Amino acid sequence: MNIFVARQPVFTLDKKIFGYELLFRLSLDNVFPNIDGTIATSGVLSNTFFSFGLNDILGGKPGLINFTRDLLLKQTPLLFPKEHIIIEILEDIEPEPEIIDALKTFKSQGFRIALDDFVYDQKFSEMIHLCDMIKFDIMATPLDTLGPIFSTLGHELKHITLLCEKVETHEEFEQAQAMGFQLFQGYFFSKPEVITHKSMAPNQGTNLKLLNEVSKQEPNLDVIKDMIKNDMAISFKLLTFINSAYFKRRTAVDTIKDAITFLGLRELKKFISVAVVSNMNPEKPNELIRFSVIKARMCEQCAHIIKARFTPEELFTVGLFSTMDAILDMPMADILEKITLSEKIKDALLGKDRLFRQLNELITNFEQGQWGHTRFQADKDSQLIQKLPAFYMDALKMADSFFASG
């Protein structure tokens, strides 16, 4: 049985990762939280999550998980470590006495409780008093309509964390921040803030020299080694990455030379590409770079199944660089003028390659948990769709291992 799992990042005010909302299905025919109560038993839910390991997908951060009325009454959240999950109460759950009693039990055990897609009504007063977090979906309840609700809640908000959901633009992020929201969820981070024709900063130019060296048909390993050794940040990332759990090494690698030898030229190219991209704009959230690495790794793995004019390594590069416009807040065409890449890779990054456009859309929809997309439903029995869950988990582990160095 395939288990489809995705995570959506939740950001703090300074765009650091607070945690992830977890989304999952048991198959493309079975949507949670609308699984029938007889199927979505405590055992099925716990086995689903334990089968891939909470920490593998959460990376040590808390996970926000939706629970149905049935699962709340069965006290399913108690199966999970309270440090790792936040219980999300769905918007259609009524504040009936049995539910309130269950929430009191969870609260007494130290669990955190969030009201999901909250729409205010006085009947929710006791639930509000018990919760630690309230999530407002600003597509359903626009920011401009929330002022009266905040005034009504008044002092109740002092002990509650406000999470703004479906934030799609930086303007919405800034408006929500000014209104008192402390946490933010949405894909505003994956879009350019302001497209301008600005030039690159000096450190970005230095990073591109390293990237251009490894992009040559016959790169000089001695030159690459010296460049890495002269860059403390990349040296540290390389040694941390090579010694991470992703490689399952028994003995540590403690020199740049040995790390390069162990990786080999093909994997070294990928590492340097990721390291350079991650250093491009320190003001951007790490999750944007992580998102790029996940997409790159998934593109690479998909290349072994689909028929494409790209090698797996080339698709890794295209996937990784597909968000460079958002990272640098520059038009993609301007960025590509400064990077030594083949014309077919540049065409893909400019949206001119049909196959990559389709693959990019598929992976992005998977990452966002949009499994109702027509492509998933049309091809749900294809080898590629069936492999995506495993590809995603591997990509998460790779990305998290890279960023374990901070």
Contact 33, 44 (CB under 8 A): no
Domain assignment present for residue 195? The answer is no
Asked if the model's pLDDT at residue 260 lies above 60, the reply is: yes
Contact present, 296 and 310 (Cβ < 8 Å): no
Question: Is 191 within a domain?
Answer: no
> Is residue 194 within 8 Å of residue 329, measured between CB atoms?
yes
- Dihedral (CA of 112, 14, 279, 358) sign: positive
The confidence score (pLDDT) of residue 40 equals 42
Neighbours of 207 (CB within 10 A): 23
CA 278 to CA 290: how far, in whole Å? Answer: 9
DSSP 8-state assignment for residue 291? H
Same-domain status, 118 and 170: yes
Strand 112-115 to 4-11 pairing: unpaired
> Do both 153 and 297 map to the same domain?
no
Domain end position, chosen among 120, 151, 186: 186
Q: Per residue in 333-392, pLDDT tens?
A: 988 887 778 899 999 999 999 989 989 998 988 888 887 766 666 676 688 888 888 899
Task: Note whether 130 and 234 are same-domain residues.
Answer: no
* Residues 179, 229 share a domain: no
Structure confidence by residue, pLDDT tens digits, 33-63: 454 543 444 544 555 566 666 677 787 889 9
* pLDDT in the model for residue 135: 95
And the tokens for 83? Answer: 């440090």
Which range among 20-24, 271-275, 356-360 has the greatest average pLDDT? 356-360
CATH of the domain at 378: 1.10.3210.10
Q: Do 224 and 117 belong together in one domain?
A: no
pLDDT tens track for 65-104: 888 888 899 888 888 889 888 999 988 899 999 999 999 9
Q: Both 181 and 328 in a single domain? A: no
Distances, alpha carbon 384 to alpha carbons 24, 134, 291, 307, in Å: 18, 38, 20, 11
Q: Is residue 236 domain-shared with residue 332, that is, in the same domain?
A: yes
User: 10 and 44: one domain?
Assistant: yes
200 band by pLDDT with thresholds 50, 70 and 90: low
pLDDT band at 202; cut points 50, 70, 90: very low
Residues 368, 395 within the same domain:
yes
Of 39, 37, 48, 47, nearest to 72 (Cα)?
Answer: 37
pLDDT in tens, 287-319: 888 888 999 999 999 988 887 788 888 899 899
Q: What is the pLDDT of residue 234?
A: 82
Domain holding 104, by residue range, is: 4-186
Query: Residue 15 region, left (φ>0) first, then alpha (ψ -120 to 50), else beta?
Result: left
Residue 149, domain CATH: 3.20.20.450
220 and 107 within one domain:
no
Does 193 have pLDDT greater than 70?
no
**DSSP class of 23:** E
- Total number of domains constituting the chain: 2
pTM: 0.77
Residue 368 maps to a domain: yes
Indicate whether 207 and 303 sit together in one domain.
Answer: yes
